[in-house]
């Protein structure tokens, strides 16, 4: 298969007028996108090596990242939903020398001391694209504990993962991808930009929805899918639940053009997955992590196996050792920024097993494992997936241990808060008992409390990208005396 830049050139040469990347402000065909990338890459080759991307989703983001790659830069996506302190930490840690922006986000604080370049999408006169031999992408996550680490991914990891993802999802030039997740998320960067570039597909960036998702306040998805009628997209389980609930309430189904919707980042509750299928949403659960360039396993079109994340990508060697998922292959990271280079297999820290057909089943984080007072092992993710089958819940966290009974912390959607915030202890316990009735008795929480989403953010119980901070929740419960001995 041609390299990333060869694909860009080949696709533009084959049919330069075919649509490539579109948002509310730009509508570029392949030839125009190549021109914009070539012009910016030529400009960047004379500029500092380490560049940060600080701009909202859109065509400009796509032009900037591909041009920076062509110029051989070290690229640092800066999530717009991160706090100024988090962004300042990343900039300092990565040694960012230049900020690429589209002029829509204010450069504040220490970032004002850095050089900035407002990217102009220039499609008029194209410079000749002469890509440098290598580039690096450093991916930071907000992290559930501790200080975020920068994961180093080179051209090899990005290119290999792009081709493997395109093959596994059966992406073609006929695809129209809807991008609604922040592009600073590695999977979205690959799925919305690198895969369409490779196969010659098209992407529409819905900036308003992506901004709402980044801020954690998305309310509706049915409208955006109905307007754009894409063939593919990527969702988080929480977003899938919002979409399913909305379609069910309106008596609608998903657009008929949809053929592939990848869902990852957390387990999908069975009840949500079943409803999605009935509503025509072709969900395909997957599993991965930044240290393995986002995707390790994925349910393939026409071969989805419920309750699994599908089989490993072709070319990856995935084994289970002492219950832990271990990955070897060309997508494994070069290591963390500032640390020694990594060689060999990557121990993911995730627990899993394979079914008889070779499909991977992810059980939860190894370091999250709860050992009850009766010596039983409980993966909290297992229980939380059952709790989140209630469409009114945004997040759930189960905490406990050998000296504390299991407690479920329920975080409802704002619209559902009136019931949850006024429910009695007996009503909450009854709800939890019903939702976890299919689990063994030792895995069912004995206590339940409700925390509003606003309070969870104020108390720093959730990350900026919408994941629970388990250590913070455990401390929160202990201070409130919510876990009985």
Q: Where are the domains of the chain?
A: 4-362, 369-480
Instruction: Please determine, for residue 403, whether its predicted confidence score (pLDDT) is greater than 70.
Output: no
| pLDDT for residue 449 | 94
Instruction: Give residue-wise pLDDT tens across range 83-107.
Output: 788 888 899 999 999 999 998 888 8
Residue 108 pLDDT exceeds 90? no
Contact between 111 and 105 under an 8 Å Cβ cutoff? The reply is no
**What is the model's pLDDT at position 80?**
87
> What stretches of 177-236 show up as alpha helix (H) in DSSP?
186-189, 195-199, 207-214, 222-228
Average pLDDT of 27-56? 96
Q: Specify the pLDDT at position 144.
A: 47
Whether 39 shows a pLDDT value over 80: the answer reads yes
What is the helix (H) or strand (E) element at residue 427, kind and residue range? helix 425-435
End-to-end CA distance of the chain: 60
pLDDT bucket at 484, cuts 50 / 70 / 90: very low
* Residues in Cβ contact with 6 at an 8 Å cutoff, skipping those fewer than 6 apart: none
- CATH code that applies to domain 4-362: 3.40.50.12780
CATH 3.20.20.80 fits 369-480, yes or no: no
Q: Which of 162, 200, 202, 213 is nearest to 57 (CA)?
A: 213
**Would you place residue 362 in the very low, low, confident or very high pLDDT band (cuts 50, 70, 90)?**
very high
Q: Do 31 and 16 form a contact (C-beta atoms < 8 A)? A: yes
Tokens of 78: 């800066």
List, in sequence order, every beta strand (DSSP E) within 166-269: 176-179, 202-205, 232-235, 260-263
Q: Say how many residues make up the chain.
A: 485
Q: What proportion of the chain, given as a percentage, has pLDDT over 70?
A: 96
Please tell me whether residue 10 adopts helix, strand or coil conformation: helix
Average pLDDT, the chain: 92
Question: Reduced to 3 states, what is the DSSP secondary structure of residue 451?
Answer: coil
Q: Which of 275, 318, 274 lies closest to 295, judged by CA?
A: 318
Phi, psi of 192 (to 5 degrees): -90, -25
C-alpha to C-alpha distance for 46 and 41, rounded to whole angstroms: 9
Please, what's the b/e burial string for 121-158 (b: 16 or more CB within 10 A of its CB; e: otherwise)?
Answer: bbbeebeebebeeebbbbbbbbebeeebbbbbbebebb
């Amino acid at each position: 298969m041609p390299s990333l830049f060869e694909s860009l050139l080949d696709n533009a040469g084959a049919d330069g007028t075919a649509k490539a990347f579109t948002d509310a402000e730009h509508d570029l065909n392949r030839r125009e996108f190549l021109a914009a990338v070539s012009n910016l890459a030529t400009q960047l080759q004379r500029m500092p090596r380490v560049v940060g991307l600080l701009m909202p989703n859109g065509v400009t983001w796509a032009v900037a990242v591909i041009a920076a790659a062509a110029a051989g830069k070290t690229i640092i996506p800066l999530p717009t939903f991160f706090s100024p302190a988090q962004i300042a930490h990343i900039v300092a840690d990565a040694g960012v020398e230049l900020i690429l922006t589209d002029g829509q986000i204010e450069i504040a604080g220490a970032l004002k001391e850095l050089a900035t370049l407002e990217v102009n999408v220039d499609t008029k006169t194209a410079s000749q694209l002469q890509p440098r031999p290598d580039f690096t992408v450093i991916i930071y996550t907000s992290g559930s504990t501790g200080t975020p680490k920068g994961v180093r991914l080179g051209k090899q990891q990005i290119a290999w993962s792009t081709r493997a993802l395109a093959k596994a999802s059966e992406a073609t030039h006929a695809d129209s991808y809807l991008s609604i997740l922040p592009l600073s998320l590695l999977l979205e960067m690959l799925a919305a930009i690198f895969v369409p570039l490779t196969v010659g597909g098209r992407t529409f960036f819905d900036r308003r929805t992506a901004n709402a998702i980044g801020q954690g306040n998305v309310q509706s998805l049915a409208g955006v899918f109905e307007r754009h009628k894409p063939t593919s997209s990527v969702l988080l389980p929480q977003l899938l639940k919002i979409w399913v609930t909305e379609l069910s309430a309106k008596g609608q189904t998903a657009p008929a053009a949809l053929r592939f919707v990848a869902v990852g980042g957390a387990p999908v509750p069975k009840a949500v997955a079943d409803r999605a299928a009935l509503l025509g949403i072709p969900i395909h659960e997957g599993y991965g992590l930044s240290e393995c360039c986002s995707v390790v396993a994925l349910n393939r079109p026409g071969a989805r196996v419920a309750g699994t994340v599908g089989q490993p990508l072709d070319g990856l060697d995935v084994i289970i050792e002492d219950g832990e998922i271990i990955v070897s292959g060309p997508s494994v990271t070069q290591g963390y920024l500032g640390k020694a280079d990594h060689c060999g297999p990557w121990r993911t820290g995730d627990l899993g097993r394979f079914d008889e057909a070779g499909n991977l089943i992810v059980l939860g984080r190894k370091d999250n494992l709860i050992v009850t007072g009766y010596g039983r092992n409980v993966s909290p993710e297992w229980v939380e997936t059952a709790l989140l089958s209630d469409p009114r819940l945004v997040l759930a966290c189960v905490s406990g241990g050998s000296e504390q009974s299991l407690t479920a912390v329920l975080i409802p959607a704002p619209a559902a808060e009136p019931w949850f915030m006024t429910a009695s202890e007996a009503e909450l316990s009854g709800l939890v008992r019903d939702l976890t009735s299919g689990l063994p008795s030792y895995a069912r929480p004995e206590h339940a409390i409700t925390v509003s989403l606003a309070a969870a953010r104020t108390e720093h119980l959730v990350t900026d990208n919408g994941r629970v901070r388990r250590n913070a929740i455990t401390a929160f419960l202990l201070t409130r005396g919510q876990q009985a001995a």
